[in-house]
């Protein structure tokens, strides 16, 4: 998530100081991505260095207001007009954990999956309860927050389906056939080799990995 561009987008509405930016960000996301004030001021300093914001007036309480520049407004427009690019690789901890668990001898990967499924379903229930606890579903703050929660709900549902799919796939293989022993090959220093066509994700005409 781009904190940098999110803060710039808020500054499009008018000058803000650091705590105010955090408050405005929380209003629009339901505090689902908490930011600390130090992170915000560090980001503002980088934005100022890059010519995307300038320091404006200081009020009686010592709050320094930051204002967006024309270059900053152009960055916001470009961000909103462009799709979010997803990388081909993954740093999802759960996917990496299960890939390793499935290939480590002596690990009960089914138990790992079942434990994760219980946690994922509990999170899904909590998200659904939170979604329907709002007092004013038609208010702008509630709507913005519910959009973020909806995304989290869909992600949790997809995770549960993926866990079912993974468990079914692993059940087709004898457990001992999946274990990988340490390789006897001595890798060379430097960047790891790029995946070959054989191991690279295949993509159909819709752009969906197969």
> Helices 18-29 and 140-171 meet at what angle, rounded to 10?
60
When divided into structural domains, the chain yields a total of 2
Between 21-25, 31-35, 117-121, the lowest mean confidence (pLDDT) is in 31-35
The encoded tokens of residue 141 equal 């703050």
CA–CA distance, 109 with 107 (Å, rounded to integer): 6
- Domain identity same for 77 and 129: no
Does one domain contain both 50 and 99?
A: no
Q: Torsion-angle region of residue 112: left (phi > 0), alpha (psi -120 to 50) or beta?
A: alpha
Distance CA 135, CA 182 (A): 56
Give me the pLDDT at residue 185, please. 80
Confidence of residue 149 (pLDDT cuts 50, 70, 90): confident
Q: Please check whether residues 74 and 10 belong to one and the same domain.
A: yes
Question: 71 and 98: one domain?
Answer: no
The pLDDT, as a whole number, for residue 183 is: 75
Per-residue pLDDT averaged across 119-148, rounded? 81
The DSSP result for 71-113, as a single string, is: HHHHHHHHHHHSPPPPPSS---HHHHHHHHHHHSTT--HHHHH
Tokens found for residue 92:
């999802």
User: 152: alpha, beta or left, given left = phi > 0 and alpha = psi -120 to 50?
Assistant: alpha
Same domain, 74 and 114: no
Instruction: Give the residue with greater pLDDT, 29 vs 109.
Output: 109
**Residue 45 resides in a domain:** yes
Domain that holds residue 101: 93-178
pLDDT value, residue 207: 47
Distance from C-alpha of 118 to C-alpha of 205, rounded to nearest angstrom: 35
CATH code of residue 55: 1.10.10.10
């Amino acid at each position: 998530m781009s904190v940098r561009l999110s803060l710039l987008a808020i500054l499009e509405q008018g000058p803000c100081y650091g705590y105010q930016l955090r408050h405005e960000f929380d209003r629009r996301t339901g505090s689902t991505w908490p930011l600390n004030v130090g992170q915000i001021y560090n980001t503002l300093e980088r934005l100022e260095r890059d010519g995307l914001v300038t320091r404006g007036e200081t009020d009686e309480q010592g709050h320094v207001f930051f204002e967006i520049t024309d270059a900053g407004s152009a960055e916001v427009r470009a961000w909103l007009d462009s799709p979010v690019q997803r990388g081909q690789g993954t740093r999802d901890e759960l996917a990496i954990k299960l890939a390793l668990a499935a290939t480590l001898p002596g690990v009960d990967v089914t138990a790992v999956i079942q434990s994760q499924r219980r946690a994922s379903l509990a999170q899904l229930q909590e998200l659904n309860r939170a979604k329907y606890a709002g007092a004013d579903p038609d208010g702008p703050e509630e709507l913005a927050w519910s959009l973020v929660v909806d995304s989290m709900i869909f992600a949790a549902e997809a995770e549960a389906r993926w866990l079912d799919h993974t468990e079914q796939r692993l059940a087709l293989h004898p457990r001992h056939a999946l274990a990988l022993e340490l390789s006897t090959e001595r890798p060379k220093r430097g960047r790891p080799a790029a995946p070959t066509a054989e191991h690279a994700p295949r993509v159909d005409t819709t752009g969906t990995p197969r």
